[in-house]
């Protein structure tokens, strides 16, 4: 038996925009995804947009029963900013406020620790339309006010707060690549958005501790170490720069209170340093997170770029590093991603050695599978592949904890099969199967197994 420490938490993570859906008269305002889908539904897999998702807004009571049925002792979800403030600021949607209170009260009544994230890629569209969203300093102030409202309204129910989930993702896909709205392909805008997001996170930490000094608040980052193709100096440099962009751009200011000098120098060389105020940098320095959420799916393997950039091409991260597909890597054949369990151990060592061994939770880890219905037998999806995936990663997490990692829980992505941005329902991750047509939920084999793991606080090796 691989046994985890007493008090170790077991559960899953999800998000409001990926599960709640919308119903007529719910008062929710459009976020970026609602608007983008209304404009270009053809860009979304099978034309499935954010209005349906997993129907949690209507099925939350029975869904919370399924949390207990799958052994949850911890659950992470998110508040949709535009459900509370339809325009991002100003008038409050009371039905949205009441919805989250009912949900949180029910989760707490089940004895489940509640983690609530304030932002999961879902900026209210009104703030984008009004002033270019996160490019605008005013959005930082609107977010701070929204966060403070949430701390004051739900602080009696929430065990841990989270400021942002994977804030580097909207920066990369919204401002370097054409992957998220507003798909600008503008390096200066990308850096400005990243800085404003970090400042907003730090101001939320400040507000949270002002409302309740004992509250715990953190940030969720995808902290994948960058593995170089070789020990060649050019590959090592590529990995170092990749890590600066991918992880340290938010990790260092959130935990250490300042930006890495090498990142500042690199941005300066590219004439990309944003306008900053000394008081803002002081806010970032003084208001650091209490814990980290860490998301891990696959390793980041990089190599030195093969070609010099075109002098007129827009600046992209691949000017400094490019992805590397390691020969012989283990692959999830249903999704195409590499499986590298040791990445969890390496992340734990990095946190321990360079970030004061801050308390952390593995907030996302999971296996997406396309066409999962083909594994259904006797009415239940027999997802032994997912069980094996989780076991492999838990072995590495257990090894890291034995070696001193300060990890307090393991949360899978995700609870019920959910909508995944442009991919819709192409890849299923849930412990529970969702039938999109009937909205029927069925626990998969992995869901029953996960409950046993939670009850035993471990599993048979």
Average pLDDT value over all residues in the chain: 96
pLDDT tens across 398-436, in order? Answer: 999 999 999 999 999 999 999 999 999 999 999 999 999
User: Per residue in 280-311, is it b (16+ CB within 10 Å) or e — as a string?
Assistant: bbebbeebbbbbbbbbbbbbbbbbbeeeeeee
pLDDT at 386: 96
Q: What is the pLDDT of residue 271?
A: 93
Beta-carbon neighbour count of residue 262 at 10 Å? 13
**pLDDT over 90 at 320, yes or no:** yes
**Taking 90 as the threshold, does the pLDDT of residue 355 lie above it?**
yes
In this predicted structure, the answer to whether residue 318 has a pLDDT above a threshold of 90 is no
CATH code of the domain containing 305 = 3.20.20.80
Note the pLDDT of residue 101: 98
Report the pLDDT averaged over residues 203-225.
96
Entry pTM: 0.95
Under the banding of pLDDT at 50, 70 and 90, the label for residue 330 is: very high
**Has 61 been annotated as catalytic?**
no
Task: Give the total number of structural domains in the chain.
Answer: 1
- Active site annotation includes 364: yes
Average pLDDT over residues 201-226: 97
CA nearest to 10, candidates 88, 64, 106, 76: 76
pLDDT on residue 151: 98
**How many residues can be counted in the chain?**
461
What span, in angstroms and rounded, lies between the C-alpha atoms of 117 and 453? Answer: 25
For residue 131, pLDDT beyond 90: no
350 token code pair: 């990095």
Q: What is the DSSP string of 289-351?
A: -SEEEEE-SS-EEEE--SSPPPTTSPP-GGGT-EE---TT--B-TTT--B--THHHHHHHHHH
Q: Which of 20, 135, 341, 364 is catalytic?
A: 364
> Tens digits of per-residue pLDDT, 82-113?
999 999 999 999 999 999 999 999 999 999 99
Task: Say how far apart CA 449 and CA 380 lie, in whole Å.
Answer: 13
By the 8 A CB rule, do 457 and 442 touch? Answer: no
What pLDDT is attached to residue 255?
98
- Does the pLDDT value for residue 336 go beyond 90? no
Residue % of the chain over a pLDDT of 90: 94
Average pLDDT of the residues in 175-199 = 95
Six token digits for residue 62: 């029975």
∠ Cα 424 430 434 (to 5°): 65
Alpha carbon 310 to its chain centroid, in Å, reads: 33
Q: For residue 427, count other CB atoms closer than 10 A to its CB.
A: 21
Provide mean pLDDT across the span 32-47: 95
Structural domain boundaries enclosing 149: 2-459
Percent of the chain residues past pLDDT 70, beyond the cut: 100
Q: What is the pLDDT of residue 192?
A: 97
Considering 20, 166, 172, 280, which one is annotated as catalytic?
166
Residue 158: predicted pLDDT: 98
161-170 pLDDT, tens digit each: 999 999 999 9
């Amino acid at each position: 038996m691989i046994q985890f420490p007493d008090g170790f938490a077991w559960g899953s993570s999800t998000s409001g925009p990926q599960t709640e859906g919308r119903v007529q008269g719910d008062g929710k305002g459009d976020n970026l995804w609602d608007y983008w889908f209304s404009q270009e539904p053809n860009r979304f897999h099978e034309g499935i947009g954010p209005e349906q998702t997993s129907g949690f807004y209507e099925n939350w009571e029975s869904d919370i029963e399924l949390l207990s049925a799958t052994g949850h002792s911890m659950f992470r979800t998110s508040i949709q900013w535009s459900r509370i403030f339809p325009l991002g600021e100003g008038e409050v949607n009371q039905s949205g406020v009441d919805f989250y209170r009912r949900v949180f009260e029910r989760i707490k009544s089940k004895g489940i620790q509640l983690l609530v994230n304030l932002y999961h890629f879902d900026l209210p569209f009104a703030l984008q339309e009004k002033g270019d969203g996160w490019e605008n300093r005013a959005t930082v102030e609107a977010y701070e006010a929204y966060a403070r409202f949430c701390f004051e309204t739900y602080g009696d129910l929430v065990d841990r707060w989270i400021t942002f989930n994977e804030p580097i993702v909207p920066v990369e896909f919204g401002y370097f690549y054409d992957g998220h709205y507003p798909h600008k392909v503008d390096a200066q805008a990308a850096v400005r958005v990243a800085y404003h997001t970090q400042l907003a996170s730090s101001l939320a930490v400040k507000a949270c501790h002002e409302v309740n000094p004992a509250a715990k608040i953190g940030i969720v980052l995808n902290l994948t170490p960058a593995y170089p193709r070789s020990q060649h100096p050019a590959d090592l440099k590529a990995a170092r720069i990749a890590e600066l962009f991918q992880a340290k751009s938010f990790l260092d200011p959130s935990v250490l209170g300042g930006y890495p000098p090498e990142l500042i120098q690199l941005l300066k060389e590219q004439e990309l340093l944003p306008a900053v105020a000394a008081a803002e940098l002081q806010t970032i320095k003084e208001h650091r997170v209490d814990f980290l959420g860490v998301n891990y799916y696959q390793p980041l393997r990089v190599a030195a770029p093969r070609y010099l950039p075109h002098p007129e091409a827009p600046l992209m991260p691949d000017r400094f590093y490019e992805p590397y597909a390691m020969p012989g890597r283990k692959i999830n054949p249903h999704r195409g991603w590499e499986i590298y369990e040791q990445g969890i151990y390496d992340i734990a060592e990095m946190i321990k050695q360079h970030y004061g061994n801050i308390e952390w939770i593995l907030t996302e880890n999971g296996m997406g599978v396309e066409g999962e219905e083909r594994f259904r037998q006797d009415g239940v999806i027999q997802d032994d592949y997912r069980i094996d995936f989780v076991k492999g990663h838990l072995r590495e997490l257990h090894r890291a904890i034995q070696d001193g990692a300060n990890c307090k829980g393991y949360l899978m992505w995700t609870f019920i099969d959910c909508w995944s941005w442009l991919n819709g329902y192409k890849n299923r991750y849930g412990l529970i199967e969702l039938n999109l047509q009937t909205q029927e939920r069925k626990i998969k084999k992995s869901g029953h197994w996960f409950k046993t793991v939670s009850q035993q606080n471990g599993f048979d090796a």
